[in-house]
Amino acid sequence: MNRTVLITGAGTGFGREIALRLAARQWTVIAGVEIPSQIFQLEHEAEQRGVVVQVEKLDVTDAADRARFSMLDVDVLLNNAGIGEGGSMVDIPEAHLRRQFEVNVIGPVMLTQAIARRMATRRAGKIVFMSSCAGLTADPFTGAYSASKHAIEAIAEALGKELQEFGVAVATVNPGPFLTGFNDRIFDAWKSWDKSRSDNLFDYEHIAYPYRQFDIKPVVDTTIGVIEGTIDTYRNVKPGQNVEMQRRQMDDAWTRRYDENLGKRFALVETCYDMQPGTPVDE
């Protein structure tokens, strides 16, 4: 059976590997990448792995790029494109905050609207959002990224209820700390800020992502399972051992006092100062 999937943000990380793996599983894969140079890179890797991937420039913030895909009939849309803007909510410049939401929220929703309408007309289809554990909770220095993923959680929840009567399914995948380079780049975002470092409240040269990071295989396997239907749960948190921690953190907001430990550094902030970038789980 011919099955077609459109994957955004397929130039790196999860999206890249999912595109290659689905192609090997006989899917017709349309892999959207942000910049033209990624087209050759992904095509070359597909050739090396003996699979066929249709690689196209698709910057989700570019209306012209989105329009080129608005008439596609695909079985599955994987909204995977995203960026992470790290830094304290006190320090992030306005333009960077706006960019965070343009890439992670506005662009994907505009693309989804066009494709979802076609799925609703056919009364079939599936839309998968690559969300994050950061869409459920928030840690220090990832507030902007978490806010964008909280928005995606709300959008996916509403969209799933709206499209149910049209036979269109919606699901999320929620990765935690995985070693794609993405988490460490979030904590390097400050280097592109057009402001004096002395104006920042925090010293970002000495701050790193505060978690040890896992190999990406569980996220790739789970996303493929959701796409193919062998996994039918709406929310899919990986790694699995993070599920209870996420629930505890969410529940804690109901009982935590706002004046707890004022004047003391938050424990995870301290970890950000102690951790080295790119620390794997098994180190």
CA 16 to chain centre: 13
Residue type, 83: I
Q: What is the mean pLDDT of residues 267-277?
A: 96
Residue-level pLDDT at 283 = 53
DSSP, residue by residue, 166-226: GTEEEEEEEE-SB-SSHHHHHTTGGGG-SS-GGG-SS-GGG----S-BB-SHHHHHHHHHH
Indicate if the pLDDT at residue 174 is higher than 60. Answer: yes
List the end-to-end C-alpha distance of the chain, in Å, as a whole number. 43
Q: What is the mean pLDDT of residues 124-136?
A: 98
Q: How many residues does this entry show for the chain?
A: 283
Q: How many CA atoms lie within 13 A of 171 on its CB side?
A: 24
Contact by Cβ (8 Å): 130, 171: no
DSSP conformational letter for 76: E
Which is catalytic among the residues 145, 204, 209, 211? 145
Q: What is the mean pLDDT of residues 246-250?
A: 94
Q: Could you tell me the pLDDT band of residue 172, with boundaries at 50, 70 and 90?
A: very high
Residue-level pLDDT at 282 = 77
> Helix or strand or coil: residue 173?
strand
Paired sense of beta strands 4-7 and 125-130, if any:
unpaired
Contact by Cβ (8 Å): 1, 229: no
Question: What value does the mean pLDDT of the chain take?
Answer: 96
**Helical segments of the chain, H only:** 13-24, 37-48, 63-69, 94-101, 107-122, 143-163, 182-186, 217-228, 242-255, 267-274
A 10 A CB-CB count for 271 gives 16
Contact by Cβ (8 Å): 141, 157: no
Q: Say whether 145 is catalytic.
A: yes
pLDDT tens by residue, 11-27:
999 999 999 999 999 99
pLDDT tens by residue, 28-53:
999 999 999 999 999 999 999 999 99
Residue-level pLDDT at 206 = 96
